Amino acid sequence: MQGYIINTVKVRDEDLLVSILNQKRVKTLYRFYGARHSHIQIGYKIDYEAHPTNKENLFQLRSVSHLPFKWILQRDRFYIWQQFLKLLYSHLRDVDEVGGFYFDLLEDISRYLEKENPKRVMIESYSKILEYEGRIHNDFNCFVCGEKLDKSVCLVRSYVPACQKCVAKRGFLKKKVEHFFRMHNSILFDADEVEELYATMLEGF
Ligand SMILES: [Zn+2]
């Protein structure tokens, strides 16, 4: 089976609980420490087997092989990718069956990261997730005071729109945000705006 490692927790000395997002769900498996184990870290795509243990509901992670990306040695890229997966883990950790959408999205992202600007890839992917979950707010009313936003739109966590008076953040041209929400494409935003949207994304889903 293939999956993406989206969380690890050390237990006992060198054993690990490893959370893997596969086509169906986030599954947490136990990896016993051993000299011949391959290296494990958040962000790796792996092929693996899940073997039953004598504890109910606990499976052992075995036969791991790393499926590296072409860009894996580009530290900045890999770090941004890891940050995104950590957010995704917090978001999905308590959901039993998440379905294939998130896995497929990670497949796409890992390809886009070969060439594209990583922060743009991440904010665009975040926007795709919000749409998939029915959480895109394209009614453009400030969530605090209810005012209709005609020209300038601030975006807070989960890219919820607000007015500048209520949240004291930088405003984006509404036209740009509309395009971004519709196309999941950040082309109209300049580099500073991308930084701002990226920082907002890091607040979580
Ligand atoms: Zn307001």
Nearest CA-CA partner of 50 in 27, 34, 67, 68: 27
In this predicted structure, what is the pLDDT of residue 205? 94
Q: Give the mean model confidence (pLDDT) for residues 77-95.
A: 96
Give residue 143 CA to ligand 1 midpoint distance, Å.
Answer: 7
In this predicted structure, what is the pLDDT of residue 39? 80
In this predicted structure, what is the pLDDT of residue 55? 85
Residue 161: pLDDT band by 50, 70, 90 thresholds?
very high
Give residue 145 CA to ligand 1 midpoint distance, Å.
Answer: 4
Residue 18: pLDDT band by 50, 70, 90 thresholds?
very high
Q: Which residues are CB-neighbours of 79 under 8 A, at least 6 positions away?
A: none
Number of CB atoms found within 10 A of residue 33's CB: 12
In this predicted structure, what is the pLDDT of residue 70? 94
Class of domain 2-66: mainly beta
Q: Is the pLDDT of residue 22 over 60?
A: yes
Number of CB atoms found within 10 A of residue 5's CB: 25
Give residue 178 CA to ligand 1 midpoint distance, Å.
Answer: 18
Q: Name the percent of the chain lying above pLDDT 90.
A: 88
Give the least confident one: 10-19, 70-79, 181-190: 10-19
Q: Is the pLDDT of residue 170 over 80?
A: yes
Nearest CA-CA partner of 63 in 38, 88, 34: 38
Selected from 2.170.130.10, 1.10.1060.10, 3.30.300.160, 1.20.1440.120, the CATH number assigned to the domain covering 75-201 reads: 1.20.1440.120
The pLDDT mean for the chain works out to: 94
Q: Please report, for the chain, the start and end positions of each structural domain, with discontinuous segments joined by +.
A: 2-66, 75-201
Give residue 67 CA to ligand 1 midpoint distance, Å.
Answer: 47
89 or 15, greater pLDDT:
89
132-149, pLDDT tens digit by residue? 999 999 999 999 999 999
Give residue 91 CA to ligand 1 midpoint distance, Å.
Answer: 27
Residue 35: pLDDT band by 50, 70, 90 thresholds?
low
Q: Is the pLDDT of residue 197 over 60?
A: yes
Q: pTM of the prediction?
A: 0.94
Q: In what order do the strands lie in the sheet with 152-156?
A: 160-162, 152-156, 172-173
Give residue 27 CA to ligand 1 midpoint distance, Å.
Answer: 41
